[in-house]
Structure 1
Amino acid sequence: MKILITNDDGIKAPGIHTLAQIVSNYGEVYIVAPHTNNSAVGHGITMRRPLKSYPDSIKGATLAIGVDGTPADCVKYALAHLKIKPDLILSGINDERNVGTDVLYSGTVSGAIEANLCGYPAMAISTTNSNFDIVKSYFPAIFEKLLSQTLLTDTTININFPSLEEPKGIKVATVGISRYDECYVEEQGGHRLSGPLIDIDQPEETDVKSIKNGYITITPLKFKLYDDDKIFELSKLF
């Protein structure tokens, strides 16, 4: 099996090195990731300048290349330019969880969804508070179970790990709402977005609540922006 890995924390981040070592036991690993940190860039791609690439070396990887672009750039670059044809594309391990509506901002999740848009199955893997040890302990078994199923090319499996040493279990969860008490703090002559997560009322089966309660969460994500009910309603109107 050929596995392509990207991330948004950058090719030097510890999470991508950890993931490469874990999945090198399951196949041939190729890494194409941002040359520098690209956290929270969402699904942006680079169109107005050429991309530059930088060869690297990562234990467990057959090939490692840093690209001065976004995670979505890296996936496109690996497939279209480097001609890597993986069986599976992984994104992570992000050093913070990507649950709830934060998946819309996440470069990690967007890298995986870009894989779907290009016709490849994908998983996004994130942990909480840089807790990579829990991923080392629990991800291999989760990965093997997922590999035993047919992986769909239009679905990203979004996996998140809590900050606990021992999780309470695994929950297949829906996407919740991530809302913050947002403020801008002065920094280096400007203002930086900050603010803690607000614990709003939402169902316990959401990924936001489940990971807060100490569970590993698994959420299948599918790219679909339209509303079937509203399409039906507007079709009658027009």
Structure 2
Amino acid sequence: MTDVHEVEVVVAHQERATLRVGEVFLKIDADRTRIDVEAEAMAVAPVPTPEILWRKPPVLALAALPGTALGRLGEPSIASPGAWAAAGAAARRLHDAPLPPWPGRTPDEIAAHLDSRCEWLVAERVLPVDLVTRNRGIAEAALRPWTPAFTHGDLQLDHVFVDGDEITGVIDWSEAGRGDALYDLATLTFGHEERLGDVLSGYGADVDLDVIRGWWSLRSLHNIRWLIEHGFDPFLPGCEVDVLRSRM
């Protein structure tokens, strides 16, 4: 690696950090299990992923992907409808792949965790009771039995890289496992509801839109406490709190 003039901190908090050094990304994770899952998931996922340059826990070194992120939460996406459709098609290939060997969380486990987060939001007066109650009811649609699929687990739009209408790679596989395919689709379109039709055109299957909406509410309610405690702002325009308010 030559002509490196600076180290860019991509993201950093108490649990993990990602640094960019030239064309290499260094992922540092306090939980070795997440590093193991990420490497194993990328090895078998039927979609493009970053090249693993080396791995020495707690560090995973990855090559930079060509292209740009599909978008950013809270910002308009300039990616084409074709790029969003390609992201949906990539998600479908992943969901149709053989299941990974490690288990995922059950609806009952997710519901119990969600209820504790909702109680905290109300007790700490982070959000109005009616906003939490309304969205907790919407989230119930997601908490039904599902057929497990190979899921990315955190398929945010800035984890999907595109060049024109082509997917060049998907990053951040540390949450991959057996899960609900519709959770991936909801995460991909979180904060960008207007792009859901493009994603589903590429996905090529009928989905229950109430379940997608349920996952939007659930993800918001679940994540707000973590975001606040790790120095992020869920009240920014287009982010978690706005997603909850849009359901009212």
Specify the TM-score bucket, using the shorter chain as the normaliser: under 0.3
When you count helix as a share of all residues, which structure comes out higher? 2
**RCO (CA 8 Å, sep 6+): is it higher in 1 or 2?**
2
Question: Which TM-score applies when normalising by structure 1?
Answer: 0.24
What TM-score does the superposition give when structure 2 sets the normalisation length? 0.24
Q: Whose strand fraction is larger, Structure 1's or Structure 2's?
A: 1
